[in-house]
Amino acid sequence: MHFINRFALMLFLSLGTTAMAEPAPFVCVHEKDHLPALDPLADSWYREAAALAKPGTRRPWARIVELYGKAVERDHWKAMHNLAALYRTGWPGSIEQDRQKSLDLYQRMIDLGVPQGFYNMAAMIGNKAGVRNPATDGLTFLDKAARMGNPAALTELGKLYIYYGKKEDLGLQYTRCAAEQGYGLANYELALYYEILKSNYPIALQHYQVALSQGYDGAAFYMKRVFDKKTRPHTAMWYAPDEIQDRIYKDYYQKLLKDPNLRFPTLMKDHPLPPHPTQGYDAERPDWKPEHARP
């Protein structure tokens, strides 16, 4: 639900120095600690539906919707999330678009105390999808989701504080809290921060690599170009071309294209990054080496 970005930015800026000027002290919590237990039978239906709905397969939508619906009846919040997405988009051949049913499912998630429900509702507000009072409710839902540890909400607010709220340290706390939960987009945003704002290229590349290990395709696309001899030096952050590294990351990129659900938790250990030609492993700490540095 990436359309929340523009909405959150406009609302954040419109509030100026009022409602979001003095946020409550931030405490990093993890989303898993706020998730209700899943009914085993409902979870089996959910898993069957999710397997049938995989891209690249002949998806029997009637059966998928039936299975999600049965799981929803037993308060399976993941099934609510997926079924609501089908109602929201009216995915071709799946189900008739019905945003009110999406809203009802997101509200049910909220009633169960699921952080993703608050984030989803904020996104619906951002899209003006049948929700009243967007000027007062949008960031309220987004902030609630973040304070319950939702990685997507943490990353959104982190970006807003870093780039627009003049609270860089607070924004980094939000983003790092999401990153440590295995959220690839958060590590990708940290990579952009260190590349663009800090010009600390080795730390940026380390975050790109972690984001790739967490399955974020944008990081995979970036990494496959860093060591390519055809890439312009500034685009490669002035890393030297390296045929071996180039083949490695092109291979990871292709793997993610074939299966976006893949994760590579041992990537950093299996393929330690080379030091930057001028900045070493950290522009601010010339003598520092990461845990998995090359010998």
Give the pLDDT confidence score for residue 84 in this predicted structure: 96
Structure confidence by residue, pLDDT tens digits, 83-135: 999 999 887 777 889 989 999 999 999 999 999 999 999 888 765 544 454 44
User: pTM here?
Assistant: 0.87
Give the tens place of pLDDT for each residue, 141-184: 888 999 999 999 999 999 989 998 889 999 999 999 999 999 99
Instruction: Please give the pLDDT value at position 253.
Output: 98
Q: How far apart are CA 117 and CA 108, in angstroms?
A: 8
Domains along the sequence of the chain with CATH: 4-151 (1.25.40.10), 183-295 (no CATH)
For the segment 185-229, what is each residue's pLDDT rounded down to a tens digit?
A: 999 999 999 999 999 999 999 999 999 999 999 999 999 999 999
Instruction: Write down the pLDDT at residue 287.
Output: 87
| CB distance 131 to 144 below 8 Å | no
pLDDT at 286 over 70: yes
pLDDT at 76: 98
d(CA 232, CA 237): 9
d(CA 136, CA 1): 20
Residue 129's pLDDT is 45
pLDDT of residue 58: 86
Contacts 24+ apart (CB under 8 A), 32-37: 32/149, 32/181, 33/149, 34/113, 34/114, 34/115, 34/148, 34/149, 35/77, 35/114, 35/115, 36/75, 36/77, 36/112, 36/113, 36/114
